[in-house]
Structures are given as C-alpha cells and as structure tokens.
Amino acid sequence: MTGIVKKIDAQGFGIIDGADGSKVPFIRSDVMNRHILEPGQKVIFSVRRVKDQAFAENVVVMREQHNW
C-alpha cells in the first residue's frame, strides 16, 4: 500500500494516511533501512492486523521521480 506520513513523534510513533483513506499507525522499528521519516513523505508499506486493528510494517520511503 502507499501513503503519506501524517505525523511522527519524538518516541517514533506515527500515523500514515493510506491511499485508500485509512489512518495506519506505525512505530520506528517498522521503518526499513533506518530512514528517518518526516511528515509529508510518500511511503510504501505492508499492513498487518492485530485483533482487527491495522498497523503499518516494512515502511519504505518512495524515491522521488524527476522528469528532466
């Protein structure tokens, strides 16, 4: 799934606005390649469900495409 980082706090807890309109929480340990996420970044992620609650995992920052 794709989305945009909505917010992230100093402890590493954050929310991604999913492309489908969902709000998906994540924690710093779910971010791949040790990237530091910032609000507004586009990301790709998987969703895992725990007791019917969705959580983001394997979060990866999308590379910007340049049309030069």
Q: pLDDT tens digits for 32-66?
A: 977 789 999 999 999 999 999 999 999 999 876 65
pLDDT of residue 67: 61
What values do phi and psi take at 33, rounded to 5?
60, 20
Amino acid at 54: A
Structure tokens at 8: 């992230």
Query: Which structural domains are found in the chain, ordered by start?
Result: 2-61 (2.40.50.140)
Q: Choose among 32, 17, 30: nearest CA to 56.
A: 30
Report yes or no on whether pTM surpasses 0.75: yes
Rounded-to-integer distance, Cα 22 and Cα 3, Å:
9
pLDDT of residue 44: 96
CB 28 within 8 A of CB 12: yes
